[in-house]
A = this chain, B = another copy of it.
Amino acid sequence: MEFVSYLGVKYYIWQMEAAFDRDKHIYKSDAFEEIIKDTVRFFNGTPVHKLPPPVKFHGTGVYAIYYTGKSPYYEDLYEQNRLEFHQPIYVGKAVPRGWRQAKDAKLGSITFELYSRLREHGKSVNQAKNLAQEDFSCRFMILEDSANHLIGTVEAALIRYYKPIWNTRIDGFGNHDPGSGRYNQAKSEWDIIHPGRPWADKCVGQSSTIDKVEEKAAEYFALIKRINNAK
């Protein structure tokens, strides 16, 4: 119990800890499940373009990258995408600048995060010595205004559903140049099996070997096959 004085009046406050009841804290929403399914359906119906798309466009959202080339690492992907863009090699998101800290977000300002991210990915595959940029395509979904809040959700749902190899087994495709003074970090698995990004060669930290990364890729496709056979 405590007395507080407010605008000249004394209030009497009963500060007792509420009895703990976990159920009172659980939020349930069937409507939300429907929205997730709807976004994924919408996503899978968006037009596919080359990586990057031919026109610079503004906005933030979610994208998938498809590989239809013949790299021996991704033979199974080639099979899966033979007749339609079905299995992405990578799924990612582009959120509004400053979104995470809720800082400096200028409402209504036009920014190009999604396009920039796709262009950056195009540059990465172009720099990789054993990949060809023309073998990559992309699909993307623009989420703006309050639908901004769906970006992380949709990205997570797509990753969980498709388990793209560059998201779930071979890390590092989405990395940025760490910048001077930070090259003591390890070269990523992606940069080990796809050498070519100039900044990745500067990373001198202890990292994996090509044999191990190739093994992870093979294990991934074996796992996906078991999952598909069990369906």
Please report A residues at the B interface, Cβ cutoff 8 Å.
4, 6, 11, 13, 17-18, 20-22, 24-29, 31-36, 38-39, 42-43, 46-50, 53-55, 57, 59, 61, 82-83, 99, 101-103, 140-144, 146-147, 149-150, 152-153, 156-157, 159-160, 163, 167-168, 171
Q: DSSP majority for the A interface?
A: mixed
* Additional A-B contact list (14), CB under 8 Å, known A24-B46, A27-B43, A27-B141: A11-B83, A20-B54, A25-B61, A26-B142, A27-B39, A27-B42, A27-B143, A32-B146, A33-B146, A36-B146, A36-B149, A101-B171, A102-B159, A102-B163
Instruction: Give which listed residue, B4, B140, B168, contacts A25 with CB less than 8 A.
Output: B140
> Across the interface, which residues of B come within 8 angstroms of A168, CB to CB?
101-103
